[in-house]
């Protein structure tokens, strides 16, 4: 019997053997060169159930939820850190600076009445920024851990459509790869809207990103835009010692969503803290050519010009959808006149396997709105149903006092001709607020005059951002003000003001 001989290992071709067979030369050397050239590049993996472009709040929440549902998921993020604007240069770092600057300001101005004597108080801005960065890095790493836990592939790079199912990714570490997905979510978020004639350098002319990373406290700061972002950053640097002037085109601060009565009260309190306001005023030009920045101002309806000098100008006139570089033209996706991707009620584009969530499509540009859409979009994908109630999306301004609201405001109800009733309760009559020596503000309810159904809740005061959750829940479930008033609230708490405001809407408050 003969044993089968094992095949001999193929010998690599020599240059002589290749030259003897010129017709085989390209076929033989091509794969060798390709292997060498592709070294360091990511390799193509199998087709994913879902590919997500963008690792901000909308993108990473969708990725985690889809992973929990058992889908094979890849998430592409170009920043090199997950969490998008919110975690890296938005909600999270700004709240760190707001909290710590408030503590600093409180120690300087609000300790004697509390029986606390302190010595010399100094600002260590570098350490304050370090505390902010520590918060950010901890949270972004936490999201990475959740990706691993839920088997989400994290691809660091910039993605663009190669075709309707394929994303070409230029990797952060060099090279490129392609990822195919049965379904694709676009979650690329938003960017600061630029101001015409002022080039942002994040040093003298800054966006919120630059405002979170200043190396020293400016003597004078001008803020173009009196919305939430502008007022939060204005509060931080005013508390730390800057002379801050806010220029706002509208006749109120906080943007059109804030109730006019609440906005007026907020402006009064912020003015007491040192902020200056120029409402009904537009910036017509800016000059950053000198040491500082000169802004030319005039009344919104036209009038005499004036000049505002500052060391730094913060441009905070809003945000716009970020979709540049996605290669949308390659697959024929359309945007509206504001650059937002067009979708249906299930977040689908005209290519039904491609959905859009978060700031780059319609609705308020809020992290929690993006999160709700992410959750709903995955449910539409896996269960054919999903839910986001856009009439119950809360907004919060994290100044001190905080301002929070959900539902409609009085301006909107009047415009729509809705018959409504109003009830409110001041924190000056709340026992916990009195013991905290922090009694500014109120809780205000708006309810249907006939049915008592809650139409809107508006709060200005300490911890308003936490309290608004109860208002959102009430609005979501169609509660009346009597429903809230008949619900037991712990004593003594700030939330009792919420109960009393509801009581004052359908009947009468007890403690005021």
The CATH number of the domain where 104 resides is what?
3.50.50.60
Mean of all residue pLDDT scores within the chain = 92
The range of the structural domain enclosing residue 234 comes to 205-317
Phi-psi label, residue 230: left if phi above 0, alpha if psi -120 to 50, beta otherwise: alpha
Map tokens 């350098």 to a residue. 201
> Dmax over Cα atoms in the chain, in whole Å?
110
Is residue 302 domain-resident?
yes
CB atoms within 10 A of CB 501: 27
The CATH number of the domain where 432 resides is what?
3.30.390.30
Which residue in 109, 387, 491, 511 is the catalytic one? Answer: 491
Is residue 456 domain-resident?
yes
Residue 407 has pLDDT above 70, yes or no: yes
Residue 284 has pLDDT above 90, yes or no: yes
Whether 52 and 151 share a structural domain: yes
Gap between the Cα atoms of 128 and 130, Å rounded: 5
Is residue 476 domain-resident?
yes
Look up residue 123 and give its two tokens: 């600002």
Whether 139 and 154 share a structural domain: yes
Residue 32 has pLDDT above 90, yes or no: no
Say if residue 87 is exposed, middle or buried (CB neighbours under 10 Å; 0-12, 13-18, 19+). Answer: buried
- Domain end, chosen from 259, 282, 317, is at 317
**CA terminus-to-terminus distance, the chain:** 108
Residue 491 annotated as catalytic: yes
Give residue-wise pLDDT tens across range 99-111: 999 999 999 999 9
Whether 309 and 406 share a structural domain: no
Is residue 388 domain-resident?
no
For residue 294, the model assigns a pLDDT of 97
Is residue 391 domain-resident?
no
Is residue 28 domain-resident?
no
**Residues of each annotated binding site for NAD(+):** 225-232, 248, 318
- Domain end, chosen from 317, 338, 370, is at 317
| Three-class secondary structure of residue 265 per DSSP | helix
Whether 308 and 327 share a structural domain: no
Which pTM does this prediction carry? 0.90
Is residue 344 domain-resident?
yes
Map tokens 């308003």 to a residue. 464
| Three-class secondary structure of residue 458 per DSSP | strand
Gap between the Cα atoms of 246 and 220, Å rounded: 11
Is residue 66 domain-resident?
yes
For residue 44, the model assigns a pLDDT of 55
For residue 345, the model assigns a pLDDT of 97
For residue 304, the model assigns a pLDDT of 85
Structurally, the chain folds into a number of domains equal to: 3
Whether 324 and 451 share a structural domain: no
Whether 218 and 177 share a structural domain: no
Assign 3-class secondary structure to 182-232. EEEEECCCEEECCCCCCCCCCCCEECHHHHCCCCCCCCEEEEECCCHHHHH
Residue 346 has pLDDT above 90, yes or no: yes
Give residue-wise pLDDT tens across range 161-199: 999 999 999 999 999 999 999 999 999 999 999 999 999
* Spatial contact of 288 and 202, defined as CB atoms under 8 Å apart: no
Whether 92 and 134 share a structural domain: yes
For residue 303, the model assigns a pLDDT of 82
Whether 378 and 428 share a structural domain: no
Proportion of the chain above pLDDT 70, given as a percent: 91
Whether 254 and 275 share a structural domain: yes
| Three-class secondary structure of residue 495 per DSSP | coil
Gap between the Cα atoms of 312 and 398, Å rounded: 22
For residue 5, the model assigns a pLDDT of 34
* Cα–Cα separations (whole angstroms), residue 115 to 111, 112, 118, 183: 7, 5, 10, 61
Residue 335 has pLDDT above 60, yes or no: yes
Whether 67 and 158 share a structural domain: yes
**Residues of each annotated binding site for FAD:** 95, 159, 188-190, 359, 365-368
Whether 140 and 184 share a structural domain: yes
pLDDT bucket at 20, cuts 50 / 70 / 90:
very low
Whether 292 and 332 share a structural domain: no
- Domain end, chosen from 272, 292, 317, is at 317
**What number is the average pLDDT over the span 63-72?**
98
Residue 28 has pLDDT above 80, yes or no: no
């Amino acid at each position: 019997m003969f044993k089968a001989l094992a095949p001999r290992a193929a010998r690599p071709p020599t240059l002589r053997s290749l030259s003897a067979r010129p017709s085989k030369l390209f076929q033989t050397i091509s794969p060798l060169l390709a292997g060498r050239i592709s070294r360091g590049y990511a390799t193509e993996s199998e087709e994913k159930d879902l590919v997500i472009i963008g690792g901000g709040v909308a993108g990473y929440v969708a990725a985690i939820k889809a992973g929990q549902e058992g889908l094979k998921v890849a998430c592409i993020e170009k920043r090199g850190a997950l969490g998008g604007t919110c975690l890296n240069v938005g909600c999270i770092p700004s709240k760190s600076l707001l909290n710590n600057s408030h503590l600093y300001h409180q120690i300087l101005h609000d300790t004697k009445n509390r029986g606390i004597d302190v010595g010399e108080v100094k600002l260590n801005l570098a350490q304050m920024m370090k505390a902010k960065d520590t918060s950010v890095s901890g949270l972004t790493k936490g999201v990475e851990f959740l990706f691993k836990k839920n088997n989400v592939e994290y691809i660091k790079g910039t993605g663009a459509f190669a075709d309707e199912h394929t994303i070409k990714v230029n990797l952060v570490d060099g090279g490129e790869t392609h990822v195919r997905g049965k379904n694709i979510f676009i979650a690329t978020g938003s960017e600061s809207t630029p101001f015409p004639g002022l080039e942002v350098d994040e040093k003298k002319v800054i966006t919120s990103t630059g405002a979170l990373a200043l190396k020293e406290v400016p003597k004078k700061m001008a803020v173009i835009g009196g919305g939430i972002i502008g007022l939060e950053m204005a509060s931080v640097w005013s508390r730390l010692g800057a002379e801050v002037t806010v220029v706002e085109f509208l006749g109120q601060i906080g943007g059109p969503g804030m109730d006019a009565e609440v906005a007026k009260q907020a402006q009064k309190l912020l003015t007491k803290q040192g902020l200056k306001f120029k409402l009904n005023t537009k910036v017509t030009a800016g000059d950053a050519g000198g040491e500082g920045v000169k802004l030319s101002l005039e009344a919104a309806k036209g009038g005499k010009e004036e000049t505002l000098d500052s060391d730094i100008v913060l441009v905070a006139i809003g945000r716009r959808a970020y979709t540049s570089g996605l290669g949308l033209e390659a697959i024929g996706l359309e945007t509206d006149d504001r650059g937002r991707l067009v979708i249906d009620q299930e977040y689908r584009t005209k290519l039904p396997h491609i959905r859009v969530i978060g700031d780059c499509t319609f609705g308020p540009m809020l992290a929690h709105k993006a999160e709700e859409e992410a959750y709903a979009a995955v449910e539409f994908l896996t269960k054919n149903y999903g839910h986001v109630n856009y009439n119950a999306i809360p907004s919060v301004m994290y100044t001190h006092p905080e301002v929070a609201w959900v539902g409609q405001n009085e301006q909107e109800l009047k415009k729509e001709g809705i018959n409504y009733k109003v009830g409110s309760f001041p924190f000056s009559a709340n026992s916990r607020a009195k013991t905290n020596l922090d009694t500014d503000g109120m809780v205000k309810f708006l309810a249907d005059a006939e049915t008592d159904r809650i139409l809107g809740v508006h709060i200005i005061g300490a911890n308003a951002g936490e309290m608004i959750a109860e208002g959102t829940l009430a609005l979501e479930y169609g509660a009346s003000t009597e429903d809230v008033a008949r619900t037991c609230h712990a004593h003594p708490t700030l939330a009792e003001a919420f109960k009393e405001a509801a009581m004052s809407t359908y009947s009468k408050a007890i403690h005021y």
